[in-house]
Structure 1
């Protein structure tokens, strides 16, 4: 429910109705409105990739660092979805770039793991630590090498990221791998998939020079889970070796 002010702000944000959000804020609706589960309107707008609404809420006093549901950071939600305009809007009002949410994830962790190079660039420009490990202790550059995103790797290298030998070894491992088969094996291990399950492999391009392979697991026509990886590992090996020669 709305914490204060006229009802309807939650619905307007969920529907992406910018005009209604303007009217409701002017009528006294709180920019800190949250639903019955504690999900804030700012977080909902951030994950829905509605930068206009995000800017309206921030201008009306929404706290960019308030945890949604007690666990989720708006900047992390935007970074996870690759919503660069929302990320930049949050950073412009001083969102804490390295704020951690539940389980120790921060915005850069999500952006690197999911290959959102534009978001990685924005976060690093705002001061994100290029060497701060993720929840499992993995350096960002190694995660970027595993992801197969040359754009993320280049952005991290430009920011001075370390663990370059480890990243090179990781990229080389994936150059030699059957990526679709590896992703399928991971899904099978995680979900115990057996008879009745079906797999679908799809390839598409989200980053130039690094096509993505996606494997989804379905049962009875319903997608149960999925995983994807970019295929820029050879380019990453070349980039890392070139840097090593120039610095050697």
Structure 2
């Protein structure tokens, strides 16, 4: 493992800057092919690592490891500042990873409205379906993220009527019980579950986890904005 990769793993901004200044290649990767830029893009506070790497010539479009893209990594984690830095450096907002996921589909799936807005402002295609075949607006409504729905509507995303119908269909359902049942169905052993409610700017996120001996081994989540989404006007205006 190179010194630069070690510094990025450690989140050592000063060391990264020093190594780049003394000639360390910005395109360095670890033994698995994971690039320094990708590691920085998915790190908490990674924008302070991403910017010097980009300035030193790291390619924002270079796939990492098994094909993961830095912009997709930032979208998964909701790092809007990283996404904007990558987009400004030339990352394509619609480039898909090998399994079909785009930055927008990741951001929508995880309810990261600021990333969605950044992508749309840089030309991401709001009419491109996710790997599951759903339009971004419909996916956002299903996941109950009001802020993500509004971001997409602000950019004239198609699928409004279907999105509102999906939100309405989920408004009165016990989604916690549905997630719990779906998670437990993956296992052939008696397991317990736990539910956490996490308040946030985009409403409450309900997290359902499967536990083995008290340790989470799987989970899923949804936001509770279905009623608010279902109440939006059925047509633009």
TM-score interval (norm. to shorter): over 0.9
CA offsets, 1:51-74, max 9 Å, x none? Answer: 011000000000001000141000
SS at match of 1:236: helix
The alignment status of 1:227 with 2:223, answered yes or no, reads no
Q: Tell me the residue number matched to 1:172.
A: 168
CA offsets, 1:24-57, max 9 Å, x none? Answer: 1112111000011100000000011310110000
Shift of 1:76: 0.3
In the TM superposition, 1:121-140 aligns within 5 A as 121-140=117-136
- Give unmatched runs, 5+ long, in structure 1: 2-6
Match of 2:15 among 11, 20, 39: 20
Aligned counterparts of 1:131 and 1:177: Cα–Cα separation in 2: 28
Q: TM-score, normalised by structure 1?
A: 0.92
**Residue correspondences, number:** 236
SS at match of 1:225: strand
Q: Tell me the residue number matched to 1:204.
A: 198
Match of 1:99 among 95, 101, 125: 95
Aligned counterparts of 1:151 and 1:137: Cα–Cα separation in 2: 22
CA offsets, 1:139-178, max 9 Å, x none? Answer: 1011000110111111111111111221112101110111
Q: TM-score, normalised by structure 2?
A: 0.96
The alignment status of 1:84 with 2:80, answered yes or no, reads yes
Aligned counterparts of 2:155 and 2:210: Cα–Cα separation in 1: 37
Aligned counterparts of 1:193 and 1:17: Cα–Cα separation in 2: 44
Does the 8 Å CA contact 2:164/2:234 hold for their aligned counterparts? no
Which structure has more helix as a fraction of its residues? 1
Root-mean-square deviation (CA, aligned residues, Å) is 1.2
The alignment status of 1:182 with 2:172, answered yes or no, reads no
Does the 8 Å CA contact 1:179/1:213 hold for their aligned counterparts? no
Aligned counterparts of 1:198 and 1:70: Cα–Cα separation in 2: 33
CA offsets, 1:61-104, max 9 Å, x none? Answer: 00001000141000000010001111111111111010100210
Q: Tell me the residue number matched to 1:40.
A: 35
Q: Tell me the residue number matched to 1:62.
A: 58
Q: Structure 1 stretches (4+) deviating beyond 6 angstroms?
A: none
Does the 8 Å CA contact 2:161/2:234 hold for their aligned counterparts? no
Shift of 1:132: 0.2
Q: Tell me the residue number matched to 1:11.
A: 6
Q: Structure 1 residues 193 and 214, CA, compared in 2 at 3 Å: closer, same or farther? A: farther
